[in-house]
Amino acid sequence: MPEVLSGPAHAKVNLVLEVLGKREDGYHDIDTILQEIELADRVSIEPAAEWRIEVTGPRAAGTPADESNLALKAAMLLAERVNSSFPCLIRLEKHIPAAGGLGGGASDAAAALGLLASAWPSTRIGEIVEVAEAIGSDEAFFLHGGTARARGRGEQINQLQPLPAHDVVLFVPPQTIERKTARMFAELGKHEFDVGRVAERFAAHPPAVFGSADVFNAFERVAFDLFPWLAELWQDLEQRIGEPVRLAGAGPCLFWIGPSGEGSRIAAACTGAACEVIATHTTSRK
């Protein structure tokens, strides 16, 4: 293994997120369009005497630095699959806000798997995919990145034509809640599930221009039930920019997406709002 392996782990936003129903295994069937964005953590791996993880960076708060960390779990599980007896130190330089609906933990895990696969040449792609699916639901997407449709519980990935360059502005509230995703799914179960047409239309006819008004996210139906404090921020942001903002994944981060070149104006208009404002843009892996 080289002395140090390093690479980016990008965040994502859901352009469409439909929840179709609950499965017998306890998960939910979803139909979602995922879009990778430029905002990224930095994942580094190096040989060590034992498996360890270190978390640093400007947005390290809220990211576990123990065996519950998804990147460490994924790396250790892959080592078991390929019979590797060489432990590693994983360093995460965090730039993606934790527990905000942007997929940072899943992306870190996928990046770690990719780095270790390059270090362990005997690793088969099937083993990487199996580990990614065992760890969580978004990890499979991050093995591919770009623009993709995910179905099942998120593990069934179909790459789509890359979305043309768009600006994205993220709005990160100063608080979240514990067990957020599970609680959001539970709350959504009190309502009718989606019929699954929005993601299908997007996949059949990928748009050249996409805006916040085009986003569909089933979790918006219950966002204020679990994040009652989010309503005031949401309203303030929309008043400032005169356009919709949308929930990122299971939240509580919000985001705006629109034409390339407009993001700086949107970000500037939201200076002073009760959140962190991060201007970024879509990306693809051509």
How many residues does this entry show for the chain?
Answer: 286
What DSSP state is assigned to residue 145? -
Specify the DSSP class assigned to residue 192: P
Give the CA dihedral 71, 98, 152, 130, nearest 10 degrees.
0
> What is the torsional sign of CA 167, 43, 158, 21?
negative
Separation of alpha carbons 171 and 194, rounded Å: 26
Local structure of residue 261 (DSSP, 8 states): T
Q: Is 12 a catalytic residue?
A: yes
Burial of 7 (0-12, 13-18, 19+ CB in 10 A): middle
Q: Among all chains, which residue has been given the structure tokens 């990122």?
A: 248
68 token code pair = 């519950």
Which member of 29, 108, 138, 194 is catalytic?
138
**Of 90, 88, 76, nearest to 41 (Cα)?**
90
Tally: H helices and E strands in the chain? 9, 11
What single-letter amino acid sits at 222?
V
Phi, psi torsion values for 195, nearest 5 degrees: -95, -15
Write down the catalytic residue from 12, 73, 94, 180.
12
Catalytic residues, by residue number, are 12, 138
